[in-house]
Amino acid sequence: MKSYRQCIECFYRQARKTAGLVTDEPDVYREIERRIKNYLKRVSLRRAPADLSTWTVKFVYNVTGCPDPYIELKQRYNRIAGRLYPGLKKMVASAHDPILMGLKIAVAGNIIDLGILDKIDLESTIKKAIGGEFPLENYKKFREILDRSRRILYILDNSGEIFFDKPLIEELAKTHKVIAAVKSGPILNDATMEDARLANLTGLVKVITTGNSCLGVNWSRSGAQFKKAFRNADLVLAKGQANYETLEGLKTKTPIFFLMQSKCPVVAKYMGAKLGDIIFMKN
């Protein structure tokens, strides 16, 4: 997916929001915006929004000297989601179709996106995901591919959200070899190995890193271990908008299914969806 002119204001807004977590100094804000302005003059909008956003956010990290502005919020949502996990697991395990329910629970967790949303209502989102419409035609395609697959690469999205992914991963791991992927280092509230350990995903399946701390999947900067896992997978399940933005145009024989909630009007329009829609689609 390419970027659009409407994305530019979002780059600035996201940077201001991130900076606001660690400073209120006007000079710092001005320096960050100066760097973003100069950067955007040099780059092409043909690149994915998540790709460009990675570097505008990293200007905040560099200028403020804070390596992880979202650390406290990540810890908070890990605690909240961790308390919800036993109930989520029970809903999946007792469902008539545990895989389908696992997907619904996982997509409910995708609301925990602090880089895009300011307000998060987990309770109503869970109810909507469970009781609302799910793209069942695409689910049928997913099950057909899943049933003939052995190796799954599950690309995780955010901290906190990984507790919502865990019941689905537990179900998938009963019959498949599952590898989960997280970021190598902090970027917004994306999940890292620390989050995977906290959720005890590392005790459930093999967890690897993408080899970088870029939003979504930056293939050119991805590590050899991640690329090997991707190429060897019979099926890739990619959570969240940034993974969609960076992977939907990737030339690969590996089927990729994207699971997310539509949270951005530009991306929603590109996908032919409405804001708030549950998205489950194949590349």
Which has more pLDDT, 256 or 277?
256
Tell me, yes or no, whether 57 and 158 share the same domain.
no
Q: DSSP for 21-75?
A: TT---HHHHHHHHHHHHHHHHHS-TTS-HHHHHHHHHHHHHHHH--S-TTHHHHH
Tell me, yes or no, whether 122 and 193 share the same domain.
yes
At 124, give phi and psi (nearest 5°).
-70, -30
Tell me, yes or no, whether 142 and 42 share the same domain.
no
Q: What is the CATH number of the domain that holds 200?
A: 3.40.50.10880
Do residues 1 and 244 touch, judged by C-beta distance below 8 A?
yes
Tell me, yes or no, whether 208 and 252 share the same domain.
yes
Tell me, yes or no, whether 172 and 46 share the same domain.
no
Which has more pLDDT, 112 or 6?
6
Per-residue pLDDT reduced to its tens digit, 148-157 = 999 999 999 9
Number of domains the chain is built from: 2
Nearest residue to 221 (alpha-carbon basis) of 196, 248, 246: 246
Q: What is the mean pLDDT of residues 81-97?
A: 93
Q: Has residue 133 got a pLDDT over 90? A: no
Tell me, yes or no, whether 117 and 10 share the same domain.
no
Tell me, yes or no, whether 136 and 174 share the same domain.
yes
Tell me, yes or no, whether 108 and 237 share the same domain.
yes
Per-residue pLDDT reduced to its tens digit, 266-276 = 999 999 999 88
Angle at 252 between CA 103 and CA 216, to 5 degrees: 55
| Band (116; pLDDT cuts 50, 70, 90) | very low
- pLDDT in the model for residue 120: 59
Tell me, yes or no, whether 270 and 182 share the same domain.
yes
| Cα separation, 112 vs 125, whole angstroms | 10
> Where among 28, 45, 64 does a domain terminate?
64
Q: Has residue 115 got a pLDDT over 70? A: no
Per-residue pLDDT reduced to its tens digit, 197-230 = 999 999 999 999 999 999 999 999 999 999 999 9
Tell me, yes or no, whether 78 and 60 share the same domain.
no
Do residues 100 and 139 touch, judged by C-beta distance below 8 A?
yes
Please enumerate, as own/partner, the contacts of 261-269 that have beta carbons within 8 Å and a separation of 24 or more: 261/107, 261/110, 261/111, 261/125, 263/113, 263/116, 263/117, 264/10, 264/116, 265/6, 266/4, 266/6, 266/7, 266/10, 266/49, 267/1, 267/49, 267/241
Tell me, yes or no, whether 122 and 24 share the same domain.
no
**Residues of the chain above pLDDT 70, percent:** 96
For residue 171, give its domain range: 71-282
> Where among 44, 64, 84 does a domain terminate?
64
Q: DSSP for 217-259?
A: --GGG--HHHHHHHHH-SEEEEESHHHHHHHTT---SS-EEEE
3-state secondary structure of 11: helix
pTM: 0.94
Tell me, yes or no, whether 141 and 261 share the same domain.
yes
> Where among 64, 86, 111 does a domain terminate?
64
